[in-house]
Chain A
Amino acid sequence: MDWLSPSDFLAIPFNDWVNAFVKGWLVPNFRPFFRAIQWPVVQVLDGLDYVLNAVPMLLFTAILTTVAWRAAGRGVGIFTLASLFFIDLIGLWSETMTTLAMVVTAVLFCVIIGVPLGVAAARSDLFEKIQRPILDVMQTIPSFVYLVPIVMLFGVGMVPGIIATIIFALPPIVRLTNLGIRSVRADLTEAATSFGATSWQALVEVQFPLAIRTIMAGLNQTLMLALSMAVIVALIGGGGLGLTVFTGLGRLDVGNATAGGVGIVLLAIILDRISQAVGERKAVHTTSLAATLKSFFAPATRSEAGANHERAAPKGL
């Protein structure tokens, strides 16, 4: 005997509902709005892409190597130099620059959107409560799922790709901004207020500088997530290294796919090391990254961890 299941009696046309919502309501009513949103992204991306592709390879390599060296030490500097040469030698320079432009654009918008959201969440418990499930969904929903509505709303190409990347990479910076500001010792904020600081002054003078290390950890995660979208974005018309991998995949051209993949990995390592190092430097007198991440996974003890950070931090620059 067959077991009964509810679907024998009732079928919910969930997919139809979503279709009706997106196609019947969202797209026709909000298309101009979504098109307008694209505008700033287009400007930044075009500008960056133009600049990065116009700068001679050697000059760019020299600049990035210097930055890596100054920020993260000689090792990372040498690694950056070697990697960029390697990328150029395997013929992927311009793809790499395109991917870099995309990633930087996406991260820039993540910061512009995410930091204020994080600050707002830190200041209002209600806002945090509302925001948390939304961020959870953004982080867990497979990015393929929202590629379709994004294409419907924004069309195909680089910019929709970047918008998908922004959605995917936004949560860590919001969360860690929130966490960073919340774990600033309450008596320090109180001290600022007691000297007549407005809430903006307290944010700028005390909370933000003390939270910067945590925020930079969030930025680092956001950056990595954005890079990890490079290939997926190629599905909806994004260019760069992702496209190289994607076409390699389509043609079973393992050589090209691997070359693209290696390019992404090298870029990821360089950006990761530099952004981490910048975060550490910025926060010599605040919290350690390890402690921050630990407290991230143990929310109950985070204020305690926050209080202990200062002690553990290394001394002056």
Chain B
Amino acid sequence: MTSKIICSSVSKIFGTEPEQALALLRQGLDKDKIHSETGQVVGVENVNFEVSDGEIFVVMGLSGSGKSTLVRMINGLIKPSSGRILIDDIDIASCSEEELLSLRRNKVSMVFQHFALFPHKTVAENVAFGLKIKGVQAAERRERAHAVLEQVGLANRADSYPEELSGGMQQRVGLARGLAADPEILLMDEPFGALDPLIRRDMQAELLELQRSLKKTIVFITHDLNEALILGNRIAIMRNGRFVQVGSAEEIVGSPANDYVAAFTADIDRSRVFRAKSIAVEPQAIEAGAQVDDAARRMEDLELDALYVTDGDKVAGILTYRSAIEACRCGTKIVREVASHRFPAASPDAYLNDLYPMARMGLPIALRDAHGRLTGVVPPQAVFDKLAGAA
């Protein structure tokens, strides 16, 4: 995958003499020290990341950690004090004013925490704002605005004013406005921060749903780790202007880089973070046509209670040690005849949350891909261990 956004060694100092503060930073002084000695504020310090095409990159951090500063540097609202930001190979900090305008008009748009809808414009006019700025004709603007409003389910409110809408609706308008010019990149600065928890959930689901068809490159800012874990393909944890850890939800929760991250992840619902494949083991399977006593011997060797039975590519059933022994006693020879067709199965991408009830059956859980092939097996104990944080 290609990188859409590349940030290398980006720093931002607020103050009159950024060079001085940058020099102190290089000497290893921290943010507070620099502030008390020079009065300069370190907004963002030496941040590196890349966002690939179609990815949702979430930046999570507490208030004042520099998230807004970072995201505003990506579309040039704030100029970095040092470092480079490339969007499709255009350097934001050094490109011409025309290039910057064209970038903002066509490629990158932004959704704001407090919606930032224009109170004097109708919903449709708000949505069409970017198009108007670009010089698109009125009729075409209106058409496009309606199409985008349709996408976010607000087509019937096109002629309302923002103040007549609820918070959730307003942010849908904000999102529609961001999408109207069909940008490749969406910058979202705590877009759901001002919404109450239920509406927030809805909006998160809706964003994921939209993203499935739109495939935008999204930089999403939040101060809520849960939100970050739900939305992010990759997540960066930010503290005092620095990235403390960058990784997938599983990496962040599974192996926090330090105590700071660990403190955040402590009360996360792990069952909604980890996927089945993260705890799967190499599948031990036996052909349906094999002999039962072979199967029993194999289970003894491997110290397993059950083996999956495959028929060609597909999973055909499960053979437990007990039924294998019984079958030998009765003289049945072929695995196919004794295998049980009732076995727990899930997709490799399923969350542990869904595996938990299956694990209580005590049988290993089969992970099957879209073609029904056995890609792995999850021992029931592994589910409990992972949820307890042992693994």
- The answer to whether B75 touches A187, judged by C-beta atoms less than 8 angstroms apart, is no
For A201, what are the chain B residues with a Cβ–Cβ distance below 8 Å? 133
B132-A205 in contact (CB<8A): yes
Q: What residues on B are CB-neighbors of A315 within 8 Å?
A: 161, 163-164
Judge whether B134 is part of the interface by a CB distance below 8 angstroms: yes
Contact residues in A for B134 (Cβ distance below 8 Å): 196
Q: Assuming the A-B contacts A195-B130, A196-B133, A205-B133, are A190 and B116 also in contact, with contact meaning beta carbons closer than 8 angstroms in the complex?
A: yes
The answer to whether A194 and B133 touch (CB under 8 A), given A285-B120, A315-B163, is no
Say yes or no: is A27 at the interface (Cβ < 8 Å to chain B).
no
Question: Which of B105, B134, B161 is most buried by chain A, counting CB atoms within 10 A of its CB?
Answer: B161
Task: Please measure, in the bound complex, the distance between the C-alpha atom of A198 and the C-alpha atom of B132, giving whole angstroms.
Answer: 12
Assembly CA distance A197 to B75 (angstroms)? 13
Choice from B104, B106, B132, B164 contacting A194 with Cβ under 8 Å: B104
Given contacts A196-B104, A201-B133, A316-B161, are A191 and B120 in contact (CB under 8 A)? no
Interface size band for A:
20 to 34
The answer to whether B104 touches A285, judged by C-beta atoms less than 8 angstroms apart, is no
Does A206 interact with chain B (Cβ within 8 Å)?
A: yes
Residues of B within 8 A of A285 (CB): 119-120, 161, 163
Q: A285-B120, A286-B119 are in contact. Are A191 and B163 (CB under 8 A)?
A: no
Which A172-186 residues have a C-beta within 8 angstroms of B?
185
**Chain A residues closer than 8 Å to B181, beta-carbon distance:** 195
Cβ of B133 and Cβ of A191 under 8 Å apart?
Answer: no
Q: Is A152 an interface residue (CB 8 A)?
A: no
Residues on the A chain within 8 Å of B16, using CB: none
Say whether B274 faces chain A, with CB atoms less than 8 Å apart: no
Task: Mark each residue of chain B from 277 to 316: 1 if its CB lies under 8 Å from any CB of chain A, else 0.
Answer: 0000000000000000000000000000000000000000
A165 to B118, CA, bound (A): 37
Q: Which of B65-86 contact A (CB under 8 A)?
A: 75, 77
How distant is A57 from chain B, measured CB to nearest CB, in Å?
39
A205/B77 in contact, CB under 8 A? no
CB-CB contacts below 8 Å: A258-317 with B: 285-286, 310-311, 313, 315-316
Q: Are B118 and A195 closer than 8 Å at their CB atoms?
A: no
Please name all residues of chain B whose beta carbon is closer than 8 Å to the beta carbon of A197 when the two chains form the complex. 133
> A193 an interface residue at 8 Å Cβ cutoff?
yes
In angstroms, how far is the closest chain B Cβ from the Cβ of A306?
A: 12
CB distance A191 to B132 under 8 Å?
A: no
A194/B77 in contact, CB under 8 A: yes
Q: How near does chain A come to B254, taking the closest CB pair, in angstroms? A: 36
Tell yes or no: A62 within 8 A of B by CB: no
For window 190-215 of chain A, which residues contact chain B by CB distance below 8 Å?
190-198, 201, 205-206, 209-210
B216 to chain A, nearest CB (A): 16
Tell me the minimal C-beta distance from A18 to chain B in angstroms.
41
Please name the residue on chain B nearest to A197 by beta carbon. B133
Q: How far is the CB of A216 from chain B (nearest CB, A)?
A: 14
Given A188-B116, A209-B120, residue A196 in contact with residue B130 (CB < 8 A): yes
Known: A310-B119, A310-B163. A195 touches B109 (CB 8 A): yes
Residues of B within 8 A of A286 (CB): 119-120
A193:B129 contact, CB within 8 angstroms:
no
Contact with A along B96-136 (1 / 0, CB 8 A): 00000111111001101010101110000000011011100
Q: How far is the CB of A265 from chain B (nearest CB, A)?
A: 35
Query: Which of B116, B130, B181, B187 has the most chain A CB atoms inside 10 A of its CB?
Result: B116
Contact A194 B110 (CB under 8 A): yes
Hey, which chain A residues are within 8 Å of B112, CB to CB?
187, 190-191
CB distance from A283 to the nearest CB of B (A): 8
B104 touches A188 (CB 8 A): no
Task: Please report the C-alpha to C-alpha distance between residue A287 and residue B106 in the assembled complex, in whole angstroms.
Answer: 32
Once the chains bind, are A311 and B163 in contact (CB under 8 Å)? yes
User: A195–B119 contact, CB under 8 A?
Assistant: no
Q: Are A206 and B163 in contact (CB under 8 A)?
A: no
Known interface pairs A188-B118, A209-B120; A195-B129 also in contact (CB < 8 Å): yes
B75 to A, closest residue via Cβ: A194
Query: Are B129 and A205 in contact, with the CB atoms below 8 A?
Result: yes
With a cutoff of 8 Å between Cβ atoms, the chain B residues found around residue A191 in the complex are 110, 112, 116, 118
* Chain B residues within an 8 Å CB radius of A206: 118
Specify which chain B residues have a CB less than 8 angstroms from the CB of A313 in the assembled complex: 119, 163
Nearest Cβ distance between residue A307 and chain B, in whole angstroms? 9
What separation, in Å, do the CA atoms of A313 and B162 have in the docked complex? 13
With a cutoff of 8 Å between Cβ atoms, the chain B residues found around residue A185 in the complex are 116
Q: What chain B residues lie within 8 Å of A194 (beta carbons)?
A: 75, 77, 104, 109-110, 187
User: A residues within 8 A CB of B129?
Assistant: 192, 195, 205
Q: Which residue of B lies closest to A209 (CB)?
A: B120
When distances are taken between beta carbons in the complex, the residues of chain A under 8 Å from B101 are 196, 198
Q: Closest B residue to A208 by CB, please name it.
A: B120
Write the nearest CB–CB distance from B188 to chain A, whole angstroms.
12
- Inter-chain CA distance A187–B132, complex, in Å, is 19
**Closest B residue to A309 using CB positions:** B119
Complex formed: what's the CA distance from A191 to B112 in Å? 8
Contacts of A310 in B (CB 8 A): 119, 163
Tell me if A210 and B133 are in contact (CB < 8 A): no
Chain A residues near B75 (CB, 8 Å)? 194
Contact with B along A124-158 (1 / 0, CB 8 A): 00000000000000000000000000000000000
**Could you tell me the distance between the alpha carbons of A187 and B118 in the complex, rounded to whole angstroms?**
10
Collect the chain A residues with CB atoms within 8 Å of residue B102's CB: 196
Nearest Cβ in chain A — how far from B157, in angstroms? 13
Nearest CB of A to B4, in Å: 17
Q: Quick one: CB contact mask for B118-156 with A, threshold 8 Å, 1 for yes?
A: 111000000001101110000000000000000000000
Contact A190 B119 (CB under 8 A): no
Once bound together, how far apart are the Cα atoms of A286 and B121, in whole Å? 10
| Contacts A191-B116, A195-B129 known; 15 new A-B pairs at CB < 8 A | A187-B116, A190-B116, A191-B118, A194-B75, A194-B187, A195-B110, A196-B103, A196-B104, A196-B130, A197-B133, A201-B133, A210-B119, A285-B120, A310-B163, A316-B161
What are 24 contact pairs spanning A and B, CB under 8 A?
A191-B112, A191-B118, A192-B129, A194-B109, A195-B109, A195-B129, A195-B133, A196-B101, A196-B102, A196-B103, A196-B104, A196-B105, A196-B106, A196-B133, A196-B134, A198-B101, A201-B133, A205-B129, A210-B120, A285-B119, A285-B120, A311-B163, A313-B119, A316-B164
Partner-A contacts on B (CB < 8 A): 75, 77, 101-106, 109-110, 112, 114, 116, 118-120, 129-130, 132-134, 161, 163-164, 177, 181, 187
The 5 A-B residue pairs whose C-beta atoms are closest, nearest first, are: A196-B105, A196-B104, A191-B116, A195-B130, A194-B110
